[in-house]
Structure 1
C-alpha cells in the first residue's frame, strides 16, 4: 500500500515538469521567463512585462518596443518611461534584444523585422493578444528599427510610436501602420534632427505624409506634460488614405521625454490623459 501511494505522489510531481518540457518557453505562474529573465526564441531572446492588475483573461493591447543601441530588452521592462507607461494602461510590453545589442535597420533586408514579428506570435501562445491594438515603438536606434518594422510589416500595426530616430525620408515602404506618432528634439545630435529643405522642421515624417497622402496642410498646437516637457505638435488628420500622422517637437536633445509614451497610449486607447 505504501509503495502504491509513493508511486502516485511521484507521478503527480513529475507531471508539471513533463508539461513544461513540451514547451520550455512557456510563461506560466512562477515561470522565470518574465521581467528581467529573458524568453528564449530561435536562438535569441526577448523580455516581457505584464500590466498591473491584469485579470489573466482580458485581451491585452501590445507594445513591441525596440531598445536603443548597446542596450538589451531588459532595459525597457524596468524603464519608468516605457514599462511605467504600459503597466498603468493595461498594455503588454514585449522587448526583443538585438544581435550584438543593435539592430539591422539599414536596408530592406532587415532580418530583425522577422524576429520582431516572431516575438509577437510567440507571446500570443501565452497571452490573449488584442490584434487590433498592436503598437510598435523604439528609442534612438530602436526608433529607426521600429520605422523599419512598420515599413516592411506594418499592415497589422495600429500605430508607430517613435522616439528620436528615423529612416531616410526617401525610403520606399511596402507597408505602413494605421497611424504614425513621432517625437524628436530639435537639438538632437545623436540621431541628428532630420531638418528638411529650407529649415523645414516637419521633415522627420515626410515619408509617411507622402505615403498616406497627407499633403502640406497641418494643424499646429502646443501641449505639455510637465513644465520641462512641452511640445509643438504638427498633425495631419485628413490624409487621403484615412490614416493619421503626428509630429511632436521639443527644443532639447536625445532622450525619451517624460510621459510621452504614456500620453500616446492614453490617446490611442481612449483613456483620460494621465501622468506618468
Structure 2
C-alpha cells in the first residue's frame, strides 16, 4: 500500500498545482467516498506545495470526524505543526475493531489513498491515532493495514494484547489513565502497568523498559513515561496518568513534536 501511495502521489502531482480540496469539502463539511465519508483539515500557513505529514485520527464512540477537526486537543495541535488532519467517519458513529474481520481497515486505506489524490502527502510521515473506541480502531488499523504507518498514537483504547498482528507501525505511542472506567486500564499480572503495550513489545522483541520520568503541560495532570528502545525493530512509548477517560492536554502535540524532530511546545 505504501508503494501504491507513492505512485499515486507522483501520478497526481500536476493536480496539486490547482490547489487543495474543493472548498465545499473541508473542515466540518465531510468529503464523500463511495457510501462513506471523512473530514480533512489543513494546517495553518501551508503553502499548498510542501508535502504534508498526515495524522489520521479515529473518533470516539457516538462521535464523527466533524468533532475531531474542531477539537482543541487534536486539531488545535495539528494546525500549528504543519500536519494534515484526516478524520474518517465510522458507520453508526462507531468502529468495528473487535476482530480482524472488519472492513473499517480497508476503509482507512481508501481514505488515505483518496487524500493522496488531492494533497502532496509525505508517505514516510503517516501517523494514526484515535481516542476511546477510536483508539482501539487505530490499534486495529495499525495491526492490519497494508499502509506503512510511521507511528501509532493510541489514546485510552486498545485491542487485546494477545492478538497477532500481520502488520506493525514503525513506532508505537500510547497513553492511558489508571482510573479509566470506560475503556479500563488493561493491567497485567500482579497489577503490571506496562501491559497496555504488551502486544507491541512482544512483536518488536523489546528488552527492558527505560523510565523517562514525569512530564506535564498543565499543572493539574502529571504523566509518567516509559520507553522501550532496545527492540529488534521499532520503538514503544507508554504514558500513564492518574486520571480517567480523556485526551490529556498537550499529549497529541507533544507526540507530533517528538516524531517530527521539533522541540516540544504547548499548545
**TM-score of the aligned structures, taking structure 1 as reference length:** 0.88
The answer to whether 1:210 aligns with 2:202 is yes
C-alpha deviation, 1:229, in angstroms: 2.6
Measure how far apart 1:271 and its partner are.
1.1
8 A Cα contact 2:19 2:48, kept in partner: no
2:135 to 123, 140, 143: 143
Q: 1:155 to 1:237 in 2, by over 3 A?
A: farther
Matches within 5 A, 1:21-100: 28=20, 31-100=23-92
- 2:233 paired with 1:262: no
Q: Is the 8 A contact 1:27 1:34 kept in 2?
A: no
CA contact (8 A) 1:139 1:162 kept: yes
2:262 is aligned to: 271
Equivalent pair of 2:21/2:118 in contact (CA under 8 Å): no
Gaps of at least 5 residues in structure 1 are 1-25
Please give the alpha-carbon distance, in whole angstroms, between the structure 1 residues aligned to 2:209 and 2:87: 36
1:229-259 Cα deviation digits (max 9, x unpaired): 3111010011012x10000000000000001
CA RMSD of aligned residues (A): 1.5
Matched residue of 1:125: which SS? helix
Helix, strand or coil at the partner of 1:170: coil
What does 1:1-276 align with in structure 2 at a 5 Å threshold? 28=20, 31-153=23-145, 156-241=148-233, 243-276=234-267
* Gap change, CA 1:30 and 1:110, over 3 Å in 2: closer
2:11 aligned partner:
none
CA shift for structure 1 position 216: 3.6
In structure 1, the residue corresponding to 2:68 is in which secondary structure?
coil
**3-state DSSP of counterpart to 2:144:** helix
Unaligned runs of 5+ in 2: 1-17
2:116 & 2:78 partners in 1: Cα distance? 17
Separation in structure 1 between the aligned mates of residue 147 and residue 79 of structure 2, nearest angstrom: 26
TM-score by length of 2: 0.91
Larger Cα-atom Rg:
1
**Contact 2:77/2:253, CA 8 A, preserved across alignment:** yes
Question: Secondary structure of 2:236's match?
Answer: strand
Shift of residue 220, structure 1, vs aligned partner: 3.8
